[in-house]
A and B are shown apart, each in its own frame.
Chain A
Amino acid sequence: MIRLKKGLDIKLVGQAARELVDTPLADSYAVNPIDFVGLTPKLLVKVDDEVKAGTPLFFDKYRPQVLFSSPVSGKVKAVNRGEKRKILEVVIEPDSKNEYEVFQTVDLNTASKESVIDQMLASGLWPMIIQRPYGVIADPSKTPDAVFISGFDSAPLAPEMDFVLQNVTEDLKMGMEVMKKLTPGKVHLGVSARQKNPVFDGLQGIDVTTFDGPHPAGNVGVQIHHVAPIGKGNLIWTVDIQNLAIIGRFFRTGRVDMTKIIAVAGSEVEHPRYQKIISGARIDSIVKDNVKQNGKSIRFICGNVLTGTKTTLENHFGFYANQMTLIPEGNHHEFLGWIAPRLNKFSVSHSYFSWLTPNKKYDLDTNLNGGVRALVMSGQYEKVLPMDIYPVYLLKAILAGDIDKMENLGIYEVIEEDLALCEFVCTSKTEVQQIVRKGLDMLMKELN
């Protein structure tokens, strides 16, 4: 077992109760090209085309074999574009026919790595495979040193995976077999010491490592760092645990069935709970009638409060997300807030009083709680980053555009989510995750 001391569990109001609700079919579903880092999509469908679940909607301009497919059967309703005609959403209006594209099932015992990858590419499930370094969709022509999967999510209000995965054991097992096909190396699974998950009992040929500690212990990047750190030239593939089940399901049934269970959580949710949805569902279909009516303006977050994306009721659920979080917006002034005791606010600093009530759950809003400043304090980031990395030096190397230094200081080991807590604790309100992404993009451009 690997014990992580550094990190931080931010306790928030609105943890999902362990009850599952089926979400009725939404008015629309969408695949959002902006969910995929650095993707330039090329459309394969036009408005009013009939599609089935698994029909490709668009592909990656630079890697045409990487397809993105519809999660439901129906009709292409709209292609929503933003500035410079950038495609934001490809929207599908579902029909009640519930039709699936039919794919041949492959026998994993005899199939080659290539045929497995081809199958995943054709089904549009390939984008679920993320590569490290860079945190982008994996290059199907490469072979990874290993595959890493995190079996739990330690973020604030995150879904409890023992609940979410309880009925997909077979899918997961199949998914693991698929992963074994992808790498000549090991398939690693990180499990939580705090939250035993019987789903993972009796796995064959998987390297299981137990992690104990606060968030970000559940981040796959942190787990990789402690099991087999990534250096220059290393290639690791990762996959989200629920997406792994979807991949496994596809290999068992030959159908693209993107059903998943998400946590609907946060202080502005009337009944925080788990909901079964199909990936890409319109947000209002998920939270309808479940939002607190107290006149507050609300931040809808697709994902968790640390790394999620800001969304609206009219947008659609993200490809990689496993939770929906609703918290109040903080768009109000606070009189002399920086002198006030602020008993209902959370701080890791003892200059406030939240250390007196370690088990209290907080209802935090989106206020920045201060102005952006140059970095003044030192040693803050290190306390919440369980990696042997000097985060401030890494950020400074990125800001200076010094590729050599970035490499030396460990940029290959991190993506945005791993330093999300640094952003949370920063006294100077630095946009840490944005800087990390900038560095990764710079590196990708320079080296590829």
Chain B
Amino acid sequence: MKSLRNYIDKIKPNFEKGGKYEKFHSTFDAFETFLYVPDTVTKAGSHIRDVIDLKRTMFVVVVALLPALLFGMYNVGLQHFAAMGVADAGVMQCFWHGFVKVLPIIIVSYVVGLGIEFIFAQIRHHEVNEGFLVSGMLIPLVMPVDVPLWMVALATAFAVIIGKEVFGGTGMNVFNPALLARAFIFFAYTPYISGEKVWISGLSKGEGIVDGFSGATPLTEIANALADKASALSFSSTPIDWFLGTIPGSIGETSFIAIMIGAAILLFTGIASWRIMLSVFAGGYLMGLIFNCIGANIYMDMPAYYHLLLGGFAFGAVFMATDPVTAAQTNTGKIIYGLLIGMFAVLIRVVNPGYPEGMMLSILFMNAMAPLIDHYVVESNIRRRMKRMNVASK
């Protein structure tokens, strides 16, 4: 370890002002601080500091994403072999297939995103911010497995540049970058992220499918049923499958249980806000119940809890809505923000047949509304304090 440190200290002057590789200072700094916590000391004020930093925070979120990622890889293989009619594919075989399919997406997302981050950090003479460590993992998890890699690259670049860097980098962005990447593909290349073919690897290339296999996600099945004016919803999978996640869908979103393991990690470490997470689920359930009461069509009559298990609802609630930068910042605001995300997500699903999945749009919409919610919460705090002041001075 000593020799590594010595080596870093030896090459460090090259990257400092006036050094040969001055242009790569931010990049060097990123790698150095990745390996070693810097020797910076406090100058005044609080002489001691909590050991938490942004690297640790982001690291915890990445760990929390792992269950969803690993299950997602397995499920990619599982769905693929089911579609091909290979009945006896083992767990490892499924996982390996998924691993091979998903890894390139992860690599593309990280390389493109981090590359842009490094360039911007260098231009601004800032340290590289750790925010993309999480975004870079979130982007693959909300993609369909058959998405073309160039599209992932384009979407990532769009999300990082337009979604984040133009606002000033991590901490300044208005919209969740990972969702923005998904929204970019959703609007620019709709056929690649909707329909029945894209969710299972190989299907869109027309590889041999067994008869009767559709590849539709449960939400698509609902949309189809509505379009066909069916008298009842029929699913090719059961709520147990949704809970476990053995259904078609975006790579990381299918397994409720894997996402809940991540949620437990985030809540226990206090990295994510329980207020937001809980209220998103509460909002979705509430909206489901409201539709049950209205009961104008077969979708509205669907049990309310289905909504929480289906599509990207859980993934969005746990990993996207809780993004501290784009969410509401005040405690009261977080509850309102979460409730509305849940309610709007279900509202969009049920009322707008054009968008079978409402979670992404709902979160992005509430990202834009979050500052407004906070504004009113802070205003009410100001009024409350004024009142107190007047009483106290009497």
- Which residues of A line the B interface, CB within 8 A? 10, 12, 145, 228-231, 234, 299, 301, 305-310, 325, 327, 329-339, 342, 345-352, 364-379, 382, 388-390, 392-393, 408-410, 416, 420-421, 423-429, 431-434
Contact = CB atoms under 8 A, between A and B. Distances in A.
17 contacts: A231-B392, A307-B46, A310-B43, A310-B44, A325-B47, A333-B36, A338-B37, A339-B59, A349-B271, A351-B60, A351-B271, A352-B51, A369-B37, A382-B331, A390-B381, A427-B54, A433-B45
Contact of A231 (B33, B57, B381, B389): B389
A434 B44 CA distance: 9
Contacts of A389: 381, 385
A378 B329 contact: yes
A389 B389 CA distance: 13
B372 to A, nearest CB: 14
A329 B41 contact: yes
A309 to B, nearest CB: 7
Nearest to B381: A390
A365 B39 CA distance: 11
B202 interface: no
A376 B131 contact: yes
Contacts of A346: 50-51
Contacts of A377: 57, 324
Nearest to A373: B54
Contacts of A428: 54, 171
A338 B59 contact: yes
B55 A338 contact: yes
A374 B389 CA distance: 33
A348 B39 contact: no
B269 interface: yes
Contacts of B194: none
B22 interface: no
B327 A366 contact: no
Given A388-B381, A410-B385, A432-B45, A374 B171 contact: yes
A419 to B, nearest CB: 10
B354 interface: no
Interface of B: 1, 4-5, 33, 35-57, 59-60, 127, 129-131, 168-172, 268-271, 273, 324-325, 327, 329-331, 334, 378, 381-382, 384-386, 388-390, 392-393
B383 to A, nearest CB: 9
Given A228-B392, A299-B47, A338-B55, 15 more contacts: A234-B393, A299-B41, A335-B1, A347-B52, A367-B42, A368-B38, A368-B40, A373-B129, A374-B169, A375-B171, A378-B330, A390-B378, A424-B46, A427-B52, A434-B44
B50 A347 contact: yes
A290 B135 CA distance: 51
Given A371-B38, A423-B45, A376 B50 contact: no
Contacts of B324: 376-379
Contacts of A371: 33, 38, 40, 53-54, 127
Given A305-B47, A409-B378, A351 B172 contact: no
A301 B44 CA distance: 9
* Residue of A306, A369, A370, A409 with highest tally of chain B CB at under 10 A: A370
B11 to A, nearest CB: 15
A427 B129 CA distance: 13
* Residue of B40, B273, B331, B390 with highest tally of chain A CB at under 10 A: B40
Given A231-B393, A379-B331, A424 B41 contact: no
A379 B127 contact: no
Contacts of B393: 145, 228, 231, 234
A349 B329 contact: no
A336 B55 CA distance: 10
Nearest to B273: A379
Contacts of A333: 5, 36-39
Contact of B378 (A309, A327, A393, A426): A393
A310 B54 contact: no
B48 A305 contact: yes
Contacts of A364: 48
A431 B43 CA distance: 10
A228 to B, nearest CB: 5
Contact of A229 (B51, B60, B385): B385
A42 B390 CA distance: 40
Contact of B48 (A335, A365, A372, A426): A365
A369 B172 contact: no
B53 A427 contact: yes
B37 A424 contact: no
Contacts of A432: 45-46
Contacts of B271: 349, 351
Contacts of B40: 367-368, 371
A310 B43 CA distance: 7
A234 B56 CA distance: 43
Nearest to B388: A229
B330 A390 contact: yes
Contacts of A433: 44-46
Contact of A335 (B35, B171, B327): B35
B41 A330 contact: yes
Contacts of A352: 51-52, 56
A145 B394 CA distance: 11
Nearest to A227: B392
Given A342-B51, A350-B269, A368-B40, A378 B56 contact: no
A374 to B, nearest CB: 3
Contacts of A310: 43-44, 47
Nearest to A376: B171
A11 B3 CA distance: 36
A362 B205 CA distance: 60
Contacts of B378: 390, 393, 409
B53 A369 contact: yes
B46 A420 contact: yes
A103 to B, nearest CB: 36
Contacts of A367: 37, 39-42, 49
B41 A378 contact: no
Contacts of B50: 346-349, 369, 424-427
